[in-house]
Chains A and B, each alone.
Chain A
Amino acid sequence: MAATQEEIVSGLAEIVNEIAGIPTEDVQLEKSFTDDLDVDSLSMVEVVVAAEERFGVKIPDDDVKNLKTVGDATEYILKHQS
């Protein structure tokens, strides 16, 4: 079963909360991982690995740099999930 946009955002919120300690309600589509959510480049790798496992997607390193916001990541996962 593919996840809905809503499920992906709430899943990412839980991941970001675990890794960066940001409250889940602050993790919204327009938020930038680095500027708004305290996710630096190393922590972004953790977010990506956790998202891959949770949503059954592969996110190659070259694509990670394009995932600036929660919306970017949500869209990517929606498009690529199996």
Chain B
Amino acid sequence: MNATNDSVVVTGIGATTPLGGDSASTWEGLVAGRSGAALLNEEWAADMPVRIAARAAVEPGEIIPRPQARRLDRSAQFALIAAREAWADAGFSARAGEDASVNPDRLGAVVASGIGGVTTLLDQYDVLREKGVRRVSPHTVPMLMPNGPSANVGLEVNARAGVHTPVSACASGSEAVGYAIEMIRTGRADIVVAGGTEAAIHPLPIAAFGNMMAMSKNNEDPQGASRPFDVDRNGFVLGEGAGVIVLESAEHARRRGARIYAEAVGQGISADSHDIVQPEPSGNGIAHALQNLASRTDLDPAEIMHINAHATSTPQGDLAELKALRKVFGDDVEHMGISATKSMTGHLLGGAGGVETVATLLALHHRTAPPSINIDNLDPEADGDIVRDTARELPGEGRIAALNNSFGFGGHNVVLAFRTM
């Protein structure tokens, strides 16, 4: 055990994703190199230029009873399912206070989404137009507000140290985890439930992302459409779900004898200030975040054996990220097995940082890097040690570290670092 009492550790993991309804089945799908994408068979999808998405493997309505589900946006349902798994996984038997090992006043929640309750907003607008004012649900506001998932998770676990919702598009989930690390490090909380969620598979977001030319239109091959680092990549595939973890001060975790997955070493944050949606193509913005991570933590690049790349399968973004890694880590990049799990889960937008934090932690826990699938022809400009086709074992001995990268529209760059104890 190298971590000091100031350090932050991860003691619980939960997820519901296109690959599985919990973190174990998600991990199984990831190491098997399975795609969660499929053709959308809803009636509204028939006329869409993009007809592919990665739906959650398990419908949240099968888990959450209808009276509760009908007052939660789908994004909050996913968050709640993932948070419950993480909470139980951390060894808690009930909400804070009822489980005497957690003081509610020292417990926080930071669960982010990129777009918030967008399907609630749009569905209720349909109700307004088709059925009139009186029929608009009185639950609309708490369902559509972007802090809804975080607030519902906070209610679930009885978090009273603070409930927060950083919003930074597709970096939101990772920013939430970073915020949680800081809450513990600055002494505001002993435990924080943190992650990201998204549920935006609806004609409007799909039409809008499609018109931006951000999404793949490979409708004839849904499972092959998300292909980060492949020379023929042509946009992301929209996914849905949530990933949530329990972060805890190392001291608190040890005191209650908790099982520790990894140390949350810290975060590196930067902003491109380049374009509202295009990534800074040289990778300088991302490199700045990586440098901030390196200078603010005791992370040793020689220990980084795995990187869960942001890599969404867009032509520009995937390369900018690899350029940044080379720029900051130099020859060390050669031992950092780089995986783009969005090739399997699709892109969960604000949920991505949560789900990929879970994937990164499980990669350290199992000492296995999940693969990047669908790389039929590696982009000749893709520089780095990319874990292609099949999962790869990571060094079985000694301390190893891994990064989770997340970047968002608006030029937000967030890098999280974790390492084995």
B-binding residues in A (CB < 8 A): 19-21, 38, 42-43, 45-46, 49, 52
Among B67, B134, B142, point to the contact of A19 (Cβ < 8 A).
Answer: B67
Which residues of the partner chain A approach B135 to less than 8 Å between Cβ atoms? Answer: 49
Task: Tell me the chain B residues, 112-151 only, with Cβ under 8 Å from chain A.
Answer: 134-135, 137-139, 142
Output the least CB separation between B151 and chain A (Å). Answer: 14
B interface residue count range (under 10 / 10 to 19 / 20 to 34 / 35 or more):
10 to 19
B134 A49 Cβ-Cβ under 8 A: yes
Q: What are the residues of chain B within 8 A of A46 when measuring CB–CB?
A: 137-139
| The residue from B66, B67, B68, B139 contacting A42, defined by CB atoms under 8 A apart | B139
Asked if B138 contacts A45 (CB within 8 A), the reply is: yes
As a 0/1 sequence over residues 31 to 74 of chain B, the CB contacts with chain A under 8 angstroms (1 = contact) are 00000000000000000000000000000000001111011000
Quick check: A21 and B65 within 8 Å, CB to CB? yes
User: Could you list 22 A-B pairs, sorted by A, with CB under 8 Å?
Assistant: A19-B67, A19-B70, A20-B67, A21-B65, A21-B66, A21-B67, A21-B68, A38-B67, A42-B71, A42-B138, A42-B139, A42-B142, A43-B71, A43-B138, A43-B139, A45-B138, A46-B137, A46-B138, A46-B139, A49-B134, A49-B135, A52-B134
- What residue of chain A has the Cβ atom nearest to residue B140's Cβ? A42
* Complex: A46 Cα to B66 Cα, angstroms: 15
10 A-B pairs with least C-beta separation: A21-B67, A45-B138, A42-B138, A20-B67, A42-B139, A49-B134, A21-B65, A46-B138, A49-B135, A21-B66
Report how far A42 CA is from B134 CA in the complex, Å.
13
Closest residue on chain A to residue B65 by CB atoms: A21
Smallest Cβ-Cβ distance to B137: which chain A residue: A46
Which residues of chain B are within 8 angstroms of A45 by Cβ–Cβ distance? 138
CB of B61 to closest CB in A, whole Å = 13
- Which of B68, B71, B134, B138 has the largest number of chain A CB atoms within 10 A? B138
A40 to chain B, nearest CB (A): 9
CB of A6 to closest CB in B, whole Å: 25
Among residues of A, the one whose C-beta sits closest to the C-beta of B68 is A21
Chain A residues positioned under 8 Å from B68 (CB to CB):
21
Chain B residues with CB below 8 A from A43, complex form: 71, 138-139
B131 to chain A, nearest CB (A): 10
Q: Complex: how many Å from CA A20 to CA B66?
A: 8
Measured in the bound complex, the distance between the Cα atoms of B139 and A23 in whole Å is 22
Q: Which residue of A lies closest to B139 (CB)?
A: A42
A52 to B134, CA, bound (A): 10
The smallest beta-carbon distance between A72 and chain B, in angstroms, is 19
CA distance A45 to B137 in the complex (A): 8
B65 surroundings in chain A (CB, below 8 A): 21
Q: How far is the CA of A37 from the CA of B70 in the complex (A)?
A: 16
Chain B residue at minimum C-beta to C-beta distance from A21:
B67
Rounded to whole angstroms, the CA-CA distance of A25 and B71 in the bound complex is: 23
| Closest Cβ neighbor of A44 among chain B residues | B138
Q: Which residues of A contact B67 (CB under 8 A)?
A: 19-21, 38
Q: A19-B67, A19-B70 are in contact. List 18 more A-B contacts (CB 8 A).
A: A20-B67, A21-B65, A21-B66, A21-B67, A21-B68, A38-B67, A42-B71, A42-B139, A42-B142, A43-B71, A43-B139, A45-B138, A46-B137, A46-B138, A46-B139, A49-B134, A49-B135, A52-B134
Kindly list chain B residues whose C-beta atoms are within 8 Å of the C-beta of A21.
Answer: 65-68
Task: Please give the distance in Å from B142's CB to the nearest CB on chain A.
Answer: 8
Min C-beta distance of A8 to chain B, whole Å: 20
- Shortest CB distance B346–A (Å): 33
**Within the assembled complex, what's the spacing in Å between the Cα atoms of A45 and B140?**
12
Contacts of A19 in B (CB 8 A): 67, 70
Question: A49–B137 Cα gap in the complex (Å)?
Answer: 10
Q: Which residues of A contact B71 (CB under 8 A)?
A: 42-43
Residues of A within 8 A of B134 (CB): 49, 52
- Closest Cβ of chain B to A79, distance in Å, is 21
Looking across the interface, which residue of chain B has its beta carbon closest to that of A38? B67
Residues of A within 8 A of B142 (CB): 42
B70: nearest chain-A partner, CB-CB: A19
Tell me, in angstroms, the Cα distance from A21 to B142 when the chains sit together. Answer: 20
